């Protein structure tokens, strides 16, 4: 049952890390679990991937076919727009807590602490209150409410999990590593996003630039598992 649940999460495009999915992560940390996942994913044209030895597991393309490469290239043209809200929120959190140079998987973020630090900086407070990346915000709401909505956005996108509802504590998940890897890749190849030569470089990306293409096989994966 645990391997079946793990496979369904992978096919759904989730990042399996100890912060968000500890049980499923433990499954993939065993040789038997990894072998079972790798064999099953291979049968549908995918592979089990991670960015480093302690990183989150996720599903990536085993072979970048012409169709897949074309799809990824088109997604890369708009990915910066998709990522901008998350990047803005994470950068705001980093600045409020003085973290250099980035937020890491496993970091704890407390809504009240971010609000307290933001109130000490007129620039940071203004940025949070004027942030358009969080939906459902109002001009008359408090900074505490606004930061709560920021963290809820990260939670909904899989970059954080609510670990303590009473204290408003959120833990950053392993998916953040993939985000930074993707940002670095985009920065390196941005001038060539419209160039066919980018197709030849796609295979070389550690994460295979999976993005949201996993949804295309969700139905088949759920049936087979």
Domain ranges of the chain: 2-64+203-224, 76-177
State how far the Cα of 105 lies from the Cα of 140, in Å rounded to an integer. Answer: 33
Instruction: State mean pLDDT over 176-186.
Output: 78
The pLDDT of residue 72 is: 63
Buried b (16+ CB within 10 A) or exposed e, 28-62: beeeebeebbbebbeeeebebbbbeeebbbbbbbb
Q: Bigger pLDDT: 70 or 222?
A: 70
Residues 6+ apart with CB under 8 A from 111: 144, 147, 148, 151, 168, 169, 170
The beta strands (E) that lie in 86-168 are given as: 108-110, 160-164
Q: Is the pLDDT of residue 180 over 50?
A: yes
Residues 6+ apart with CB under 8 A from 161: 19, 20, 155, 170, 171, 173
The band of 25, judged by pLDDT with boundaries at 50, 70 and 90, is: very high
State how far the Cα of 218 lies from the Cα of 3, in Å rounded to an integer. Answer: 16
Residues 6+ apart with CB under 8 A from 71: 213
Pair 38, 47: CB distance under 8 Å? yes
Q: Bigger pLDDT: 216 or 135?
A: 135
CA dihedral 161, 166, 167, 169 (to 10 degrees): 0
- pLDDT tens string 132-151: 766 666 667 888 888 998 89
Tokens of 162: 């609510």
CA dihedral 93, 102, 159, 76 (to 10 degrees): 120
Q: Is the pLDDT of residue 106 over 60?
A: yes
Architecture of domain 76-177: Orthogonal Bundle (1.10)
Q: Is the pLDDT of residue 210 over 90?
A: no
The pLDDT of residue 104 is: 87
């Amino acid at each position: 049952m645990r391997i079946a649940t793990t496979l369904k999460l992978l096919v759904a495009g989730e990042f399996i890390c100890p912060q968000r999915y500890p049980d499923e992560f433990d499954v993939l940390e065993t040789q038997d679990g990894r072998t079972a996942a790798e064999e099953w994913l291979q049968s549908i044209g995918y592979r089990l991937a991670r960015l480093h030895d302690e990183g989150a597991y996720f599903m990536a393309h085993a072979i970048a076919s012409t169709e897949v490469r074309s799809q990824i290239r088109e997604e890369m043209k708009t990915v910066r727009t998709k990522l901008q809200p998350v990047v803005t929120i994470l950068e705001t959190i980093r600045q409020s807590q003085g973290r250099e140079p980035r937020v890491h998987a496993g970091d704890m973020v407390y809504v009240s602490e971010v609000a307290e630090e933001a109130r000490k900086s007129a620039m940071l407070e203004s940025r949070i209150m004027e942030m358009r990346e969080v939906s459902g915000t109002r001009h008359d709401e408090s900074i505490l409410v606004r930061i709560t909505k920021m963290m809820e956005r990260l939670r909904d996108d899989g970059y954080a999990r609510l670990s303590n509802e009473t204290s408003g504590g959120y833990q950053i998940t392993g998916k953040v590593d993939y985000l930074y890897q993707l940002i670095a890749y985009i920065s390196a190849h941005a001038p060539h996003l419209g160039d066919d030569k980018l197709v030849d470089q796609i295979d070389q990306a550690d994460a295979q630039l999976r993005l949201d293409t996993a949804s295309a096989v969700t139905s088949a994966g759920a049936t087979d598992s």
